[in-house]
Amino acid sequence: MSERLTRINMYIKEIDLQNFRNYNVQKVQLDKGINIFYGDNAQGKTNLLEAIFLCSIGKSFRTNKDKELINFNKDYADIEISYEKKDRSGKINLRIDDKKRFLVNNVPVKKTSEIIGNIYIVLFTPDDINILKNGPSKRRRFLDIMISQLRPKYIYSLNQYNKIIAQRNAYLKQIKFSDVNYNLLDIWDENLSIYGEKIHNYREEFIKKIIDKINYIHGNITNKNEKIDIQYIYNFKDRKDFLEKLKNNRNLDIKTGMTNAGIQREDFVISINGKKLNLYGSQGQHRTAVLSLKITELEIIKDELEEKPILLLDDFMSELDSKRRLNLLDLMENNQVIITCTEKGVFDKQDINAKYFYVDNGIIK
């Protein structure tokens, strides 16, 4: 027990909510180790994880509309999170009204993306199964969130890239309807290729890291019955290749009013025993592959940081059989873990040391 505690470094000490979602005024003091929030459906368990996610990634995992985060009857919401790191304490404040404003240790943050890198988290939700099931945007988002936490330059490049794409697309639409000069496109393309290549290189680096780890992790979960492969589906090889694609696509781009090549077209595919999961995978195989992918994410973040990330498990354990549940808890012995579930009993039977919180209609006891 003491061994476990001394090896933990980063953890959230306290969360203060005001008018956030279904909370009025709520203070929660967390344990350094495992914290379990249990209660009926629709009581505010996921809302609490959402507040933590917001203060570490800068946006919600459920909505892009900030207004939804404010209690129905109020016109602002406040979140304050105090945390301890290996060598210092810190505090994040978020005020949501007509916009979002963050403070780190009482100092205003200029851009929302700059909030990333203070509190490191890995979130597991039942919704994760859609990473491998649905279209590529969830997979790119998965990569983007993981890489952003570890490489601040990645967020910068991604933001620049998205800005340029928006400008370029607006310009393409102008060209379509009026006789403006094409040559300006060369300038957008040049800039796009610079940031595009950077993003591509980071993604390639991290897909390699995933490849290095995932097969071992997946083997453990499936008793070595399944071999898992992951393949990066890139849109271009390097900057020169990207520029060439942009040139070749120019008529198509003008016709469609959008940019048809680039990192916004990238993806990755997972195969199990040589067969593509999205085409042939069973429900159970999807679930297991997602679990492997998320554990791989956790292990990569652990490797890269001196601080252990905080794990947010939203109703995730109930999806797993007890063997997988214990395996997962084993991996987490050094992290702060925040778990939500409807049945406290799921954990009572297992020999774990945890602090329990009962969540009842926006009140945590």
Ligand X SMILES: Nc1ncnc2c1ncn2[C@@H]1O[C@H](COP(=O)(O)OP(=O)(O)OP(=O)(O)O)[C@@H](O)[C@H]1O
Where do contacts with Mg ion occur on this chain (CB under 5 A)? 45-46
Residue closer to ligand X (CB basis): 80 or 315: 315
From ligand X, Mg ion, none, interface partner of 177 (C-beta below 5 to 8 A by class): none
> What's the Rg (C-alpha) of the chain?
22
Instruction: Give residues in contact with ligand X (CB under 6 A).
Output: 21-22, 39, 41-47, 68, 70-72, 315, 340, 342, 359
From Mg ion, ligand X, none, interface partner of 187 (C-beta below 5 to 8 A by class): none
> Which CB contacts under 8 angstroms, 24+ apart, belong to 282-286?
285/226, 286/129, 286/132, 286/133
From ligand X, Mg ion, none, interface partner of 72 (C-beta below 5 to 8 A by class): ligand X
SS3 letters across the chain: CHHHHHHCCCEEEEEEEECECCCCEEEEECCCCEEEEECCCCCCHHHHHHHHHHHHHCCCCCCCCHHHHECCCCCCEEEEEEEECCCCEEEEEEEECCCEEEEECCEECCCHHHHCCCCCEEEECHHHHHHHHCCHHHHHHHHHHHHHHHCHHHHHHHHHHHHHHHHHHHHHHHHHHCCCCCCHHHHHHHHHHHHHHHHHHHHHHHHHHHHHHHHHHHHHHCCCCCCEEEEEECCCCCHHHHHHHHHHCHHHHHHHCCCCCCHHHCEEEEEECCEEHHHHCCHHHHHHHHHHHHHHHHHHHHHHCCCCCEEEEECCHHHCCHHHHHHHHHHCCCCCEEEEECCCHHHHCCCCCEEEEEEECCEEC
Q: Are 264 and 144 in contact (CB under 8 A)?
A: no
Residue closer to ligand X (CB basis): 70 or 103: 70
From Mg ion, ligand X, none, interface partner of 249 (C-beta below 5 to 8 A by class): none
Q: Please report where in the chains the tokens 């942009």 appear, as a residue.
A: 246
From ligand X, Mg ion, none, interface partner of 35 (C-beta below 5 to 8 A by class): none
Q: Please report where in the chains the tokens 């969540």 appear, as a residue.
A: 359
From ligand X, Mg ion, none, interface partner of 360 (C-beta below 5 to 8 A by class): none
Least Å from the CB of residue 17 to ligand X = 12
From Mg ion, ligand X, none, interface partner of 297 (C-beta below 5 to 8 A by class): none
Residue closer to ligand X (CB basis): 6 or 318: 318
Residue closer to ligand X (CB basis): 268 or 357: 357
Least Å from the CB of residue 363 to ligand X = 12
Least Å from the CB of residue 130 to ligand X = 16
Residue closer to Mg ion (CB basis): 129 or 211: 129
From ligand X, Mg ion, none, interface partner of 178 (C-beta below 5 to 8 A by class): none
Residue closer to ligand X (CB basis): 128 or 189: 128
Least Å from the CB of residue 30 to ligand X = 17
Least Å from the CB of residue 62 to Mg ion = 10
Show the CA angle centred on residue 204, arms to residues 294 and 332, nearest 5°: 20
Least Å from the CB of residue 314 to ligand X = 7
Residue closer to Mg ion (CB basis): 46 or 335: 46
Least Å from the CB of residue 19 to ligand X = 8
Residue closer to ligand X (CB basis): 45 or 245: 45
Least Å from the CB of residue 69 to ligand X = 6
